[in-house]
Amino acid sequence: MVAIPLNNSQKSHNEARLISRRITQYFKPHIKARYQILVVNNKFDQTFNFFFELQQPPQLPHSFPLHRVTHYDLAYLEEIIKQLQSEYGFTFTFRNFTGLFWPNAQQAISVHHQLTVKKNLIHSQSLTKHKSE
């Protein structure tokens, strides 16, 4: 029997399902707990790494690895994220995606980071101004 190769859409669907299964494993609803999904652009290994981050005071924050997407393509990642976001209302944090845009949605991936960069810029500008004064 010859195995039919999966297309990217099917693959991304499978990876999203896998991540989803693992989220279910870690997600235990608690009062005052914060849950978020961290997605990291790992430029060294050329992978996208997924983590489940849990903060439930007074316990210390935990970060559990969920999955590593080895198909290093933003369109592929976008598919996975879309499926996960349709399923979960958690905050998704994107790290090391500064300056990158979702290929289909044409939106900046990590708005938070861009804001931080802008804030830092403003801060450094005001510092320079302050110094020159």
Judged by CB under 8 A, does residue 63 bind another protein? Answer: yes
Is residue 69 within 8 Å of residue 50, measured between CB atoms? yes
Q: Which residues contact 6 (CB under 8 A, 6 or more apart)?
A: 14
Helix axes 8-26, 74-87, angle to 10 degrees: 40
Q: Please report how close the Cβ of residue 75 comes to another protein at its closest, in angstroms.
A: 20
CA distances (Å), origin 16, targets 41, 126, 128: 17, 44, 46
Is residue 13 within 8 Å of residue 83, measured between CB atoms? yes
User: Which of 61, 91, 116, 120 is in the footprint of another protein by CB under 8 A?
Assistant: 61
User: Which of 41, 78, 79, 109 is in the footprint of another protein by CB under 8 A?
Assistant: 41
Query: Count of residues binding another protein (CB under 8 A)?
Result: 22
Judged by CB under 8 A, does residue 68 bind another protein? Answer: yes
Q: Strand, coil or helix: what is 86?
A: helix
Judged by CB under 8 A, does residue 96 bind another protein? Answer: yes
Judged by CB under 8 A, does residue 26 bind another protein? Answer: no
Q: Which stretch binds another protein (CB under 8 A): 42-50, 73-81, 84-92, 125-133?
A: 42-50
Judged by CB under 8 A, does residue 95 bind another protein? Answer: yes
